[in-house]
Amino acid sequence: MNGAGKILTDSGVITWRNVMNVRRNPEWLLGATLFPIMFVLMFAYVFGGAIGGPGGDSGQYREFLIAGIFAQTVAFNSSYTVIGFANDLQKGIIDRFRSLPMSRLAVILGRTTADQVLSLVVLFVMSICGLLIGWRIRGSVLDAILGYLMILLFAFALSWVGAYIGLVSRSVEVANSAGLIWMFPLTFISSAFVPQESLPGVLGTIADWNPFTAAVNATRDLFGNASPAGWAAPSGWPADNAALYAVLSSVAIIAIFAPLATARYRKVASR
Amino acid sequence: MSESDRGMGGQSGVAVRARGLVKSYGSTRALDGVDLEIPTGQVLGLLGPNGAGKTTTVRILTTLLRPDEGEAEVAGHDVLADPDGVRRSIGLSGQYAAVDENLTGFENLYLVGRLYGKRKAEARERARELLRRFQLDEAGDRPAKGYSGGMRRRLDLAGALVAEPSVVVLDEPTTGLDPRGRIDMWEVIEQLVATGATVLLTTQYLEEADRLADSIVVIDKGKVIARGTADELKAQIGGERLNLVVAEQEQIPAAVRVLESVGTSEATVDEHSRRVEVLVDTGPKALVEALRLLDAERVTVQDVGLHRPTLDDVFLALTGHGAEEEVPAS
Ligand SMILES: Nc1ncnc2c1ncn2[C@@H]1O[C@H](COP(=O)(O)OP(=O)(O)OP(=O)(O)O)[C@@H](O)[C@H]1O
Ligand SMILES: [Mg+2]
């Protein structure tokens, strides 16, 4: 079998293995969906009135919110990638894989792909939740599909970062927190939950250039969801070219972290 | 690979050859110049206490770790220059069973088969065959989570054999098993050897190396301290042990005098059990002579025995500490 073919079949096999792992532990899915549903309800009903503006239309805010929550949820799924690798390392499964004549890249690609299968399931549940609180897709079906693909691509990119973190973590405990901690600034210093223009000074600049902001803005746009009336529209190159910027940064993240993670995998020792 | 391809090791029928392996972790020299060689189709027992460097040797030979110095060849492939060639020829069962607990036994083996490049039907068939061979067919469709330690170990070993490798590496295959599990595992390994595979087996149990290995390499603190067959190692500490138990405490000095006159070492005495022991190199002749002299001195002998040294004795003689004792801080 040629090299590329072997990478794809091996990745497929590893993806199957990881998806089977989730199927045998449905409670993981429960955790992965309950958390974001909780988030939707919190933001929509607890903060919604305040952020939506005085007497603001919290229905509009909820519609604005959904793309941000979707993106945040799948971004957080990269922590499953981290924990997955940390566990496989601890259990000696990575040693077994490394002693096989299989593609090195496939072990990581199979994991990052399987984690997007998880993301798909979660997105489905969340879409239903969104529809229940009044969110609607206002654009075309094609645009909506592109919107979903946008966040999946971004989540896939983050998953490679997660793979690297998982492979450098010294223990499952370390991996647990290392996989989550960076998610908070990444997803909160952004346009996911608040008016982008409301963020002060440096935070505003970070939010403007945060690839996560771009992914959220692009998705929001593709869903045809507007910001609540009266919010200042963000400006600047990343805001004007959100989709392009989001895709470029996703590709860049993969281009950086795929080689890093693969190089780490080659050397990593179990335990 | 088919069974008939077995034994295609390097030239001159050597399946595994390592020279001058050195590996340091910070200031710990885990391996300090290890050489070993396994003729095709033979079993080498790598014997050593905790921290001796067994796993480090295994990891280098299975391409999981690069040595700082030295070279190694497995089934004719250099571990550094052609690691994929090595991986195609070996099966590894690591020190801790690498079993995916969420998959069934069958799925675990199917997974490994597919990753070796087998087609789906072939991988399935091989998985079933191995489950039968390792008496896991009944549990085969249950998640491995519920398996006992012995079952996990067997499943892990089955995983190492999926591609019928010509060289099989087993890192402490029986550690943590109960006596029953250990005997089952020995039988499995003996069957494996009967099919002609070359086996590198690490163990802390002298008894295990004695039973399974054609030759033994003893390592301690990263260095080879002895090598040879079990018999050769036993011979290294010289002859046999003659021991006897006398009836009365007062007879011990006489017994010591007699035994030292026929033996080659100083006698060791255990006052409490009234046991006296000495090394001899003439075997039964020394025994007969000793009994004659003791009779002449009117010493009543309650029990007498002549036995070959155990590998534990060898270990004690070679390292100054028992195999399972903590290594004294040096
Ligand atoms: N990753 C590592 N980092 C630091 N030191 C290590 C590492 N791996 C092994 N060592 C050290 O190298 C030495 C040899 O370890 P190794 O695991 O090869 O021993 P072993 O003979 O397999 O012991 P055991 O019977 O406990 O499995 C030990 O002193 C160990 O502490
Ligand atoms: Mg070990």
Looking at chain A, the whole-number percentage of residues with pLDDT higher than 70 is 95
For ligand 1, mutation pick of B23, B24, B54 (most atoms within 8 Å of CB):
B54
Residues B251 and B109: their CA atoms lie apart, in Å, by: 65
**Is residue B88 within 8 angstroms of chain A, CB to CB?**
yes
The average confidence (pLDDT) of chain A is 89
Query: Is residue B286 a contact partner of residue B186, using CB atoms and an 8 Å limit?
Result: no
CATH 3.40.50.300 range(s) for chain B read 14-228
pLDDT for A84 equals 92
- pLDDT band (50, 70, 90) for residue A270: low
> What's the CATH number for B14-228?
3.40.50.300
pTM for the model stands at 0.84
Structure tokens at A119: 């993301």
State the ipTM, two decimals.
0.88
Query: Is residue B66 a contact partner of residue B83, using CB atoms and an 8 Å limit?
Result: no
Starting from the edge strand earliest in sequence, which strands make up the sheet with B275-280, in order? B268-270, B275-280, B240-246, B301-307
pLDDT for B321 equals 60
pLDDT for A31 equals 82
E strand spans, A180-245: none
pLDDT for A29 equals 83
**Can you name the CATH fold of B238-309?**
Alpha-Beta Plaits (3.30.70)
Structure tokens at B319: 């390292």
Structure tokens at A186: 């990444």
The average confidence (pLDDT) of chain B is 88
Q: What is the pLDDT of residues A115-156, one digit of tens each?
A: 999 899 889 989 998 998 889 999 999 999 999 999 999 999
Residues within a 6 A CB radius of ligand 1: A 269; B 25, 28, 30, 48, 50-56, 95, 204
pLDDT for A124 equals 92
Higher local confidence (pLDDT), B2 or A79: A79
User: Residue B103: which of A20, A92, A100 has the nearest Cβ?
Assistant: A20
Please give the angle made by the CA atoms of B227, B228 and B233, to the nearest 5 degrees.
90
In order along its 330 residues, chain B shows pLDDT tens digits of: 444 444 444 445 999 999 999 999 999 999 999 999 999 999 999 998 889 999 999 999 999 999 999 999 999 999 999 999 999 999 999 888 889 999 999 999 999 999 999 999 999 999 999 999 998 999 999 999 999 988 999 999 999 999 999 999 999 999 888 888 899 889 989 988 998 999 999 998 888 998 999 999 999 999 999 999 988 887 776 678 888 898 888 888 888 988 888 888 888 888 888 999 888 888 788 889 889 998 888 888 889 888 877 777 777 777 766 555 444 444
Structure tokens at A173: 């405990």
Residue A258 scores a pLDDT above 70: yes
The whole-angstrom distance between residue B140's C-alpha and the CA centroid of its chain comes to 29
The whole-angstrom distance between residue A36's C-alpha and the CA centroid of its chain comes to 12
- pLDDT band (50, 70, 90) for residue A271: very low
pLDDT for B242 equals 87
CATH 3.30.70.100 range(s) for chain B read 238-309
Structure tokens at A182: 């960076």
- Measured between CA atoms, the residue of chain A closest to residue B161 is A100
Residue of the nearest CA to atom 28 in ligand 1? B51
Structure tokens at A24: 């045998």
